[in-house]
């Protein structure tokens, strides 16, 4: 076993011990070994095919998992479409953080279709997101970790809770910390490690343009934004311009999963305010974590694996709770009565 793989294995073991009293103990990496032994390979096959034509898909899928877990836990609720005459489903796809931004739903659909063909009614949509997230990171050059499995799918979606719980690109560090604490994650290492997922993917002008011309109503740009990057972004995203224009979250290696994100923050090259706040907030306890991850990629990879496992075990449905959806967009009782919803996937961030 390589030193890095050994460290990640130790990190996974640490996460299991750390969360022993929570729902973590109800999950197991070999959950599908008997009922659907090829589940991970089936998901990976669909992912690799999508990746060949859309290099952004890996970042998009991990974002879906993140946005799912922050709203009523990791139950696949972000995947649900609105349903006629069913007020229990208020699609999270239309929340401020997801509308015309979250993407990759059609790839999840393809994964689910392939799994239903091989082993119908076995693999949950929530587990698909967890597995695909780990595979997406590894496929992009990042770490691999053992994914605990056994989540079941929820039967509700909550747009207002998504607006309330999901971190936004415009928040100060204090607000970001509050969002992480509210769902049961820690507000330092988990926050910094999971923010490191912005080491790949894209973002729309609308999510950072407030930094370019009139930051916090000052009439001036955000002073923490590198002057060279500022000039480039002002050309890309002029005042009154198209807010859907995309640019890279990571200036140096936009499609690779590495620790360059943290070096960018040290150079004031964080694209989103919520990213730069981790390093530029005076006296913040996140600054030494950024510095450590910038100088030690192994430390980042190890912490990222632990934090992903912690996040993937928020407020789980297990056992006989919830259901195993046959279609990730619909609860099983509503397979014939859905309302078409935005796929959010054509003009999007990440």
For 187-231, write each residue's pLDDT tens digit: 999 999 999 999 999 999 999 999 999 999 999 999 999 999 999
Residue 342: predicted pLDDT: 40
Q: What is the pLDDT of residue 26?
A: 84
* DSSP reduced 3-state for 89: strand
Structure confidence at residue 199 (pLDDT):
98
Question: Is residue 52, in this structure, part of any structural domain at all?
Answer: yes
CATH number at residue 257: 1.10.420.10
Question: How confident is the model over 32-58, as a mean pLDDT?
Answer: 98
- In whole angstroms, what is the distance from residue 129 CA to residue 123 CA? 11
Q: What is the total count of domains within the chain? A: 1
Share of the chain above pLDDT 70, in %: 88
Residue 161 has pLDDT above 90, yes or no: yes
68 assigned to a ligand binding site: yes
Could you tell me if residue 67 is inside a domain?
yes
b/e per residue 10-32 (b: at least 16 CB within 10 A): ebbeebbeebeeebbeebeeebb
Nearest to 330 by CA among 110, 56, 125, 176: 125
Instruction: Say if 230 falls within a structural domain.
Output: no
Give, for 44, the enclosing helix (H) or strand (E).
helix 39-53
pLDDT at position 333, please?
82
Cα angle 72, 315, 38 (rounded to 5 degrees) comes to 100
What integer pLDDT is reported at residue 91 of this predicted model? 96
More confident residue, 12 or 316: 316
Look at the pTM and tell me if it is higher than 0.85.
Answer: yes
The dihedral over CA atoms of 122, 126, 132, 137, expressed in degrees to the nearest 10, equals -150
Domain assignment of residue 193, yes or no: yes
Q: Which range among 1-5, 176-180, 281-285, 323-327 shows the weakest confidence by mean pLDDT?
A: 1-5
pLDDT tens-place string over residues 70-97: 999 999 999 999 988 888 899 999 999 9
On whether residue 101 sits in a domain, the answer given is: yes
The total number of residues written for the chain in this structure: 350
Angle 185-224-180 from CA coordinates, rounded to 5°: 10
Of 340, 307, 348, the closest CA to residue 186 belongs to 307
- Residue 32 belongs to a domain: no
pLDDT at position 156: 95
Active-site amino acid positions = 67
What are the φ and ψ backbone dihedral angles of 115, each rounded to 5 degrees?
Answer: -70, -40
Q: Decide if 9 is inside a domain.
A: no
Give residue 8's pLDDT: 54
198 is in an annotated binding site: yes
73 labelled ligand-binding: yes
Domain span at residue 64 reads 38-201+249-312
Scan for tokens 């002008």, then name that residue.
205
SS3 3: helix
Mean residue pLDDT of the chain comes to 91
| pLDDT given for residue 88 in this prediction | 86
Ligand-binding annotation for 83, yes or no, is no
Does 174 map to a domain?
yes
Evaluate if residue 339 carries a pLDDT over 50.
no
């Amino acid at each position: 076993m390589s030193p890095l793989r050994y460290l990640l294995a130790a990190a996974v073991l640490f996460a299991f011990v750390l969360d022993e009293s929570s729902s973590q103990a109800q999950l197991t990496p070999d959950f599908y070994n008997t009922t659907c032994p090829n589940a991970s390979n089936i998901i990976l096959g669909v992912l690799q095919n999508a990746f060949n034509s859309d290099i952004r898909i890996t970042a998009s899928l991990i974002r879906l998992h993140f946005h799912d877990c922050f709203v009523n836990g990791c139950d696949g609720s972000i995947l649900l479409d609105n349903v006629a005459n069913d007020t229990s489903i208020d699609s999270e796809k239309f929340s401020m953080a997801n509308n015309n931004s979250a993407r990759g739903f059609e790839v999840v659909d393809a994964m689910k279709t392939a799994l239903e063909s091989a082993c119908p009614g076995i693999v949950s949509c929530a587990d698909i997101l967890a597995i695909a997230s780990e595979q997406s990171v590894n496929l992009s050059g990042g770490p691999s970790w053992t994914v605990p499995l056994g989540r079941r799918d929820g039967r509700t979606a909550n747009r207002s809770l998504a607006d309330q719980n999901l971190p936004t690109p415009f928040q100060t560090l204090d607000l970001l910390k509050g969002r992480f604490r509210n769902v049961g994650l820690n507000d330092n290492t988990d926050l910094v490690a999971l923010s490191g997922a912005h080491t790949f993917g894209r973002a729309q002008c609308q999510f950072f343009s407030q930094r370019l011309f009139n930051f916090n109503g000052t009439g001036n740009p955000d002073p923490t934004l590198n002057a060279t990057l500022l000039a480039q972004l002002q050309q890309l995203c002029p005042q009154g311009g198209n807010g859907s224009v995309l640019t890279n979250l990571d200036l140096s290696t936009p499609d690779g999963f590495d620790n360059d994100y943290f070096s960018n923050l040290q150079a004031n090259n964080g694209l989103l305010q919520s990213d730069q706040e981790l390093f530029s907030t005076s006296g913040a306890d996140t600054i030494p974590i950024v510095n450590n991850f910038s100088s030690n990629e192994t430390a980042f990879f190890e912490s990222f694996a632990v934090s992903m496992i912690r996040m993937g075990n928020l407020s789980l449905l297990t056992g006989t709770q919830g259901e195993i959806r046959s279609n990730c967009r619909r609860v099983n009782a509503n397979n014939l009565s859905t309302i078409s919803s935005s796929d959010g996937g054509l003009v999007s961030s990440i």
